[in-house]
Amino acid sequence: MKIAVFILAGMFFVGCERHESMPSEETGQLPWVEPKGGDWNEIQFGGEGSAQWSDGELHLEAGVELTGSQFSGELPEMPYELELEALKEVGSDFFCGLTFPVSSKNECLTFIVGGWGGGTVGISSIDGMDASENETTTYGNFKEGQWYAIRLVVEKGRLSAFIDGKQVVDVATEGRKLGLRPGVIEYCAPMGIAAWQTEAKVRKLRWRSLAD
């Protein structure tokens, strides 16, 4: 994703052992699940940098193009919410490309943070249009060395995404064609994290069911 775009800065504005926290007695919410470090594997994109989990953080070295890690364990099932924190160390493109399942492991999307020159945010792909082309496209100014809190809510017929508590995606998905952008990003399916020509870190990855 090397296409430059004009960045409208300021429009707004994690390998660990699996365990389940206790559900809240006050809210009745189901427990969080944190994936096992051993269920993550470096992706062989070709020209990739290292993608290693250490002390609860995934460190993605800048590659020729993509560097990433793919999850091979038990996946969350819709409806669910997922959250993590991501940081761009050095680079000018996306530091968080989060691929995740929607209705099944065969229907996946990618949430892009900081793509197409460093500022594009959105979902790839909806009706064949990627994060720079569809109604989820928005822009932000992402600083190097700063952690950003990212949250996804995947529900039947709707997808929402938040960065630092601000909603940046709210899109109806009922009857839409949902799938990954054609190319090596498909190696991230059904769940994975990748960065494009950018050194990045990810931590505090977890998810929980939103089923009643």
Number of domains in the chain: 1
Q: 108 with 102: CB under 8 angstroms?
A: yes
Q: Over the stretch 118-163, which tens digit does the pLDDT of each residue have?
A: 999 999 999 999 999 999 999 999 999 999 999 999 999 999 999 9
Give me the pLDDT at residue 9, please: 35
* Residue 3 falls inside a structural domain: no
pLDDT at residue 12 above 90? no
Q: What is the pLDDT of residues 24-68, one digit of tens each?
A: 344 568 999 999 888 999 999 999 999 999 999 999 999 999 999
Q: Kindly state whether residue 96 falls inside one of the protein's structural domains.
A: yes
pLDDT at 173: 97
84 burial level (CB within 10 Å; 0-12, 13-18, 19+): buried
Whether 85 is covered by a domain: the verdict is: yes
Where do runs of H (alpha helix) occur along the chain? Answer: none
SS3 content of the chain, % helix, strand, coil (to 5): 5, 45, 50
Q: Is a pLDDT exceeding 80 seen at residue 20? A: no
Which residues are within 8 A (CB) of 103 and not within 5 positions of it... i.e. 6 or more apart? Answer: 78, 156
Output the domain CATH number for residue 44: 2.60.120.560
CB 156 within 8 A of CB 176: no
Does 46 map to a domain?
yes
Q: Is position 180 within any domain?
A: yes
Whether 2 maps to a domain, the answer reads no
Tell me if 22 is assigned to some domain.
no
Phi-psi region of 70 (alpha: psi -120 to 50; beta: other; left: phi over 0): beta
Given a cut of 70, whether residue 14 has pLDDT beyond it is no
Q: With cut-offs at 50, 70 and 90, classify the pLDDT of residue 8.
A: very low
Domain of residue 158 covers: 37-209
pLDDT of residue 4: 37
Whether 27 is covered by a domain: the verdict is no
CA distance linking residue 202 with residue 40, whole number of Å? 13
Each residue's pLDDT tens digit, 73-120: 999 999 999 999 999 999 999 999 999 999 999 999 999 999 999 999
Q: What is the pLDDT of residue 28?
A: 64
Choose among 132, 159, 111, 193: nearest CA to 6.
132
pLDDT at 17 over 70: no
Q: What is the DSSP string of 49-73?
A: --EEEETTEEEE---SSEEEEEE-S
Q: 3-class DSSP state for residue 10?
A: coil
